[in-house]
A and B are shown apart, each in its own frame.
Chain A
Amino acid sequence: SQQGEEDPQALSIQEGENATMNCSYKTSINNLQWYRQNSGRGLVHLILIRSNEREKHSGRLRVTLDTSKKSSSLLITASRAADTASYFCATFSGTYKYIFGTGTRLKVLA
């Protein structure tokens, strides 16, 4: 079973709107990373947030981490059609592997 679970599993919004995706995990983590994947393509690293950080920004992306609730959220502001992709969170717990959540499929309508 996967460490990270994302919700919603699918999200459809209009261009210009904000998109929020959530990820929950089960065990203690060292860091959490968010990735984007265009259909059938590679995984693109978006942002890493450490366990001692609560919020991080990168361009139109804002990631929050709540270790007490074992959850993270990814906010994409002013979405564009090019943001259409699947978004995954992956957690690192100090072992030699990352555990991925099930992903959120985001569709941004022009």
Chain B
Amino acid sequence: AAGVIQSPRHLIKEKRETATLKCYPIPRHDTVYWYQQGPGQDPQFLISFYEKMQSDKGSIPDRFSAQQFSDYHSELNMSSLELGDSALYFCASSLIGLAEPEQFFGPGTRLTVL
């Protein structure tokens, strides 16, 4: 069965650079979520999209922005990168129309900021 795809899997950037992370949800899933997991930390919710509209927002820095496109893939754009942005970034998708949506995660993108 198709899973959530994230690219790239690994990314190395310098401070103050920009990074773009991509997420391709499971086909027919209507909701995409982004999470950030720092070293030894639990995943922290950043932002979610339902049917291409932003649906919820967590502790996402103003330097980050995200969107969901017409084909339902989503991109997380991160500007003015800081050392503290080094983390594992997960994308997840679900079919929110279900009464109890099950959330499926991608393998994550490991971002290292030098």
Interface residues of A (CB under 8 A from B): 2, 30-31, 33, 35, 40-45, 48, 50, 88, 90, 92, 95-103
Complex-state Cα separation, A43 to B37, whole angstroms: 11
Whether B96 lies near A96 (C-beta < 8 A) is yes
Chain A nearest CB from B56 CB (Å) reads 4
How far is B105's CA from A91's CA once the two chains are assembled, in angstroms? Answer: 15
The interface residues of chain B lying within 8 Å CB-to-CB of A95 are 56
Contact A33 B102 (CB under 8 A): yes
- Whole-angstrom distance between the alpha carbons of A67 and B43 in the complex? 23
A72 to chain B, nearest CB (A): 14
Taking the complex as formed, is B45 at the interface, i.e. its CB lies under 8 A from any CB of chain A? yes
Q: Are A35 and B100 interface neighbours, CB within 8 A?
A: no
Residues of B with C-beta under 8 A to A90: 43, 103
Docked complex Cα distance between A30 and B107 (Å) = 25
Give the secondary structure class of A's interface.
strand
Over the window 86-114 of chain B, the binary record of Cβ atoms lying under 8 Å from chain A Cβ atoms (1 yes, 0 no) is 00101010001001111111111010000
In the complex, what distance in Å separates the CA atom of A110 from the CA atom of B95?
Answer: 40
B99 to chain A, nearest CB (A): 8
The 8 Å CB contact of A42, one of B44, B45, B100, B106, is: B106
Q: Which residues of A contact B90 (CB under 8 A)?
A: 42-43
What residue of chain A has the Cβ atom nearest to residue B45's Cβ?
A: A97
Q: List 26 A-B contacts (CB under 8 A).
A: A31-B100, A40-B110, A42-B90, A42-B106, A43-B43, A43-B92, A43-B105, A43-B108, A44-B105, A45-B104, A48-B100, A50-B100, A88-B42, A88-B43, A92-B100, A95-B56, A96-B55, A97-B45, A98-B45, A98-B92, A98-B103, A100-B35, A100-B42, A100-B43, A100-B44, A100-B45
